Amino acid sequence: MPSEPAGAPDDAVKNFVDFALVQGLAPDLTYGDVAQSKTRAELGISSLNMIILIANYVEEKTGGRLSLEPDWVPLLDEVEGILSVISEIDRSSLTEQAS
């Protein structure tokens, strides 16, 4: 498992890093890297690989009921934006499960 930063990672960080590791698109990524980085480039993930990662994440979480929105793409250049997209997908997934 990736090394923990000082505090426990929030759900979005944990979900993103764990999924990225399973996907093999960022094999050395840690929770700490995400907590300390501002940009996607600092995480060592190309823009196209980030799109693939998020597309796979949304597929896994929603079983294809939701797809990657073009409006999300500009957000994926910043760590804050990536985590907000992850949180939005998680929320949509939970809403669908509840309904």
Partner 1 sequence: MTSITDLGLTTEQVEFFKENGFVGPFDLYTPDEAKRKWSKAMIEMALSKNKPHNSTIINYDRHLDCNTLSEHISRPEIVSKVRSLIGNDIICWKSNIFQKLPGDIGTGWHQVEKYIVGETTTAATPSLTFTHDRSDPDVIQDVSVWTAFSPARRENGCMRFLPGSQQRWFYDEDRRLTKHPEKKSDFFGYDYSELQLDPDWDPENEEIVDMEMEAGQFVLFVEKCVHGSLPNTGDITRLGYASRYLAPSVKVYENVDRLVEFGDTISLDYHGCVLVSGEDRYGYNRIYENNLNGYPFKKESAGA
Contacts of 14 (CB under 8 A, 6+ apart): 31
Q: Find the binder of partner 1 among 23, 37, 49, 87 (CB under 8 A).
A: 49
One-letter amino acid for residue 5 of the chain: P
Q: Which amino acid is at 42?
A: E
Query: Is 60 an interacting residue with respect to partner 1 (CB under 8 A)?
Result: no
Instruction: By CB under 8 A, tell whether 63 contacts partner 1.
Output: no
Is residue 73 within the footprint of partner 1 (CB under 8 A)? yes
Distance CA 75, CA 82 (A): 6
Choice from 74, 95, 97, 99 touching partner 1 (CB under 8 A): 74
- Rounded to whole angstroms, how far apart are CA atoms 55 and 69? 9
Does 47 help bind partner 1 (rule: CB under 8 A)? yes
Question: Considering only residues 1, 6, 48, 98, which one is a binding residue for partner 1 as defined by CB under 8 A?
Answer: 48
